[in-house]
């Protein structure tokens, strides 16, 4: 099955092909935050770069559910290093999340032409 990329999805896909994915920082991984973590993992052209959460065990569970490679970070510099290495930075410090230069992403990697997990489940 082939996914059609229209509207914003097409724009994100084109941007990611040229510049790498848009990197997102997220505060909170409660019920809606966990859904966001998982959905960001399924969206072409977008990636989760950092997650701030006081309940670290819950955040780790959300990241594991999404299949994300992550590392703990306690400062903006550590968040930046995690993002540059392709991992999601996990922090309890929302101020560090806000101070981190999340817009930088690792270089674009060749993307698979295989259907996404979302398409495969339909």
Query: Cα dihedral sign for 39, 13, 86, 73?
Result: negative
What pLDDT, on a 0 to 100 scale, did the predictor assign at position 120? 44
**Is the pLDDT reported for residue 76 higher than 50?**
yes
- Is residue 86 within 8 A of residue 106, CB to CB? The reply is yes
DSSP state of 106: P
Sequence spans of domains, the chain: 22-106+114-120
Q: For the residues of 42-94, what is the DSSP string, one character each?
A: HSTTEEEEEEE-S-HHHHHHHHHHTT--EEE--SHHHHHHHHHTTPEEEES-H
**Is the pLDDT reported for residue 121 higher than 90?**
no
**Is the pLDDT reported for residue 86 higher than 50?**
yes
Q: Look at residues 9, 2, 12 and name the one whose alpha carbon lies nearest to residue 108.
A: 12
**pLDDT tens, position by position, 8-63:** 888 888 888 998 899 999 999 999 999 999 999 998 889 999 999 999 999 999 99
Q: Order the strands of the 22-27 sheet from edge to edge.
A: 22-27, 46-52, 88-91, 70-72
């Amino acid at each position: 099955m082939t996914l059609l990329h229209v509207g914003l999805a097409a724009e994100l896909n084109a941007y990611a092909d040229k510049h790498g994915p848009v990197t997102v920082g997220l505060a909170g991984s409660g019920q809606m935050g966990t859904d966001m973590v998982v959905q960001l993992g399924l969206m072409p052209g977008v990636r989760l770069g950092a997650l701030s959460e006081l309940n670290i065990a819950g955040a780790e569970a959300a990241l594991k559910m999404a299949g994300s490679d992550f590392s703990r970070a306690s400062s903006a510099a550590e968040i930046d290093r995690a993002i540059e290495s392709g991992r999601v930075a996990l922090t309890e410090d929302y101020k560090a999340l806000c101070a981190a230069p999340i817009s930088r992403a690792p270089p674009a990697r060749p993307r698979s032409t295989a259907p996404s997990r979302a398409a495969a489940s339909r």
